[in-house]
Amino acid sequence: MMKRLLIVIAVLSSIHAWAQQGIKFEETLNWEQIKAKAKKENSYIFIDAYATWCVPCKEMSAKIFSKQEIGDFYNKNFINVAIQFDRKSTDNKRIKEWYNDDGKNQG
């Protein structure tokens, strides 16, 4: 039992470590909060403007944004924001909050 638990912990840890290698996109702040954070940190904002149907967008996300060296650079020098430019009925709450973000929503 203990051996299985250790294996599960090891697998989850490696997945978490792998997921953290690339660009970390801001997922909790609205646009006004992102701008305020950038100003406070004297940082630029990198925007990944993507569409769900866009094949090059998916390739960038999978092959470029996930790389350690890309993540190291962008995470150090930018506040990274991914914004979906199309709408789908399956969009989650976070994506829907950006549909008409005027900077006044609560994030």
What pLDDT score was predicted for residue 9? 59
**Could you tell me the maximum CA-CA distance found in the chain, to the nearest angstrom?**
52
> pLDDT tens, 12-37?
554 545 456 899 999 899 999 999 99
Residue 43 or 86, more confident = 43
Identify the pLDDT of residue 6: 47
pLDDT at residue 42, as a whole number: 95
What pLDDT shows up at residue 81?
Answer: 94
Task: Tell me which of 96 and 42 has the higher pLDDT.
Answer: 42
DSSP state letters, 6-24 = HHHHHHHHHHHHHHTSS--
CATH superfamily of 2-97: Glutaredoxin (3.40.30.10)
